[in-house]
Structure 1
């Protein structure tokens, strides 16, 4: 086991290196980088100054600078400001050194450390992710067991239809419908944000109630289709275990059906479900749903990632990529090791 863990940990290094290298290379060929955006912004300001002072004739200072644009010295200073005065290889090695010290860098545009930005946006993503995780598993596992026990009945067919319809409807489409019906027409729930503007002045009970009131619609939009895979996986796992010889033997000995189901079948059937818990639980802390966050005006990690890509905020893009890739690799290792805890028969050697 120790050798397996050490091997997996060592394999994380080239994996991280490859992900960062590939992303860094792609970034070098993406047009409209931070230097180009800053130059365009300054040229727009100069052009605006030209129009504002346009009544003074062609010889005015504002008009001359607007037509002349940005000189090479200013462009060189901008490149130095963002670190693009160095060769790509040197910048990549410097970035790896920073990441090795868990220094994710500084945002180009928000003038904050990437760590600080992640901490600021994480509460929104945690709220969405954890509620989605617990509600999805809380619905999916009991539903899958019930479907397996009643396989082929009307209940099984009806719930399968509901699950598949929910899985087929995109979360953002359902979110729009929820906003229009329950937020707009009926006005039962708020349209945006996680809390009300006067949340700080509320009592503890009022804060909890206000928070739950705001979180209902976005969580419903995310949950409705997310439990479909887990429910069907649970059903199929139970059906496979119910048909095995040890279940027939237990029934032949006269054991109660409930005892057979929950004491013998339940543990073996939940092995593929339980081993996915670590990844799903840790992922709930860092899950960013861009469309849901945009739709309900929630400033979370999904919106941060999207805006950083659009604005070419490379420290945020690469810093969050490094952090989430590392967390994903560690979580995958924990998920694989959980097989041994759930089923001692599994041996990695």
Structure 2
């Protein structure tokens, strides 16, 4: 087991390096970088009648002075060759320095910490509700396999899975936020949240989070529910279940003392990835639709504005967390089922 863990840790390095290298190379060929955006801002300032605004000096048809362009390139680090910039980035990342945003004048770490509470609220509630609904539903479907309950719930689960979250979010906003006005249309809390009592804060927070979480949950528990059902059906047909029943055990004892542990192995092993993902998974469309300023919206805006330190810094952090979580998930197989050997 020790050698397997060391091997997996060593394999993370080329994987992480390959992800960063591929993204860095793609970025070099994407038009509209920080320097180009600076020039566009200069032309816009000149068009509004401001020849000099915020340090931008635009000279009509002559454009921005060449020395000023060189200063901007040096400011953003583009005065160095690509291989030097890539190596400098790797050195920074090795020291867990994610850099500083080009446009928001903040450290990338500070931006992640600032946006993380919104993504935690969405991801954690989605994770908890999905598992609390999916696992009991999957067990009930397995016990009643082929019944009307199984067919109806399967239809509901598949329909919910087929509906995109943002489409459901629009419908919820129109019906419950616009027509009925039962829930707010935007934000995670009310503007006067700081002035409310603790009880009122909790109610206000749950009031705001209901619609976006509902839009994310409906399709997320379908896979877990069907996986739980299939795992239970596979275990119920095995010989040890027949032996337990032959010994006179009740159906409840057979189900919860024998089948339950073995059937939940696929669910338990996927638990670490789902739990960690709840903290760092941002839904761009849901966050944009409900005006929630989280990691999903941060990533989208960083790509659009070509804020490369934020793009590469968040990519490095999330890839590293994903690789470690995948290793923990694989180790959970051994913990849940000692018969599993990685040799």
Q: How far did 1:253 drift?
A: 1.2
Is the contact between residue 46 and residue 69 of structure 1 (CA under 8 Å) also seen in structure 2? Answer: no
| Alignment partner, residue 56 of structure 1 | none
| Alignment partner, residue 263 of structure 2 | 269
Change over 3 Å in CA distance of 1:84–1:147 after alignment to 2: same
The CA deviation string for residues 201-252 of structure 1, in whole angstroms up to 9 with x for no partner, is 1111111111001000000000001000000000000000000000011111
| Alignment partner, residue 48 of structure 1 | 48
| Alignment partner, residue 333 of structure 1 | 327
- 2:301 alignment partner, SS class: helix
- 2:74 alignment partner, SS class: helix
| Alignment partner, residue 18 of structure 2 | 18
Map of 1:261-300 to 2, 5 A cutoff? 261-300=255-294
| Alignment partner, residue 35 of structure 1 | 35
Change over 3 Å in CA distance of 1:236–1:64 after alignment to 2: closer
Q: How far did 1:69 drift?
A: 1.1
Structure 2: segments with no counterpart, 5+ residues = none
**2:230 equivalent to 1:236:** yes
User: Counterparts of 1:142 and 1:128 in 2: how far apart (Å)?
Assistant: 22
Q: Aligned-pair RMSD on alpha carbons?
A: 1.3
Structure 1 stretches of 4+ moved >4 Å: none
**2:93 equivalent to 1:107:** no
Normalising by structure 2, report the TM-score.
0.97
Is the contact between residue 35 and residue 73 of structure 2 (CA under 8 Å) also seen in structure 1? Answer: yes
Q: How far did 1:39 drift?
A: 1.2
User: Counterparts of 2:50 and 2:331 in 1: how far apart (Å)?
Assistant: 66
| Alignment partner, residue 70 of structure 1 | 64
Q: Which of residues 141, 147, 157 is equivalent to 2:151? A: 157
Structure showing greater Rg: 1
| Alignment partner, residue 81 of structure 2 | 87
**2:311 equivalent to 1:311:** no
Q: How far did 1:314 drift?
A: 0.1
Q: How far did 1:44 drift?
A: 1.9
Normalising by structure 1, report the TM-score.
0.95
- 1:84 alignment partner, SS class: coil
The CA deviation string for residues 257-304 of structure 1, in whole angstroms up to 9 with x for no partner, is 100000000000000011000000000000100000000000000000
**2:190 equivalent to 1:190:** no
Q: How far did 1:64 drift?
A: 8.7
Q: How far did 1:46 drift?
A: 2.1
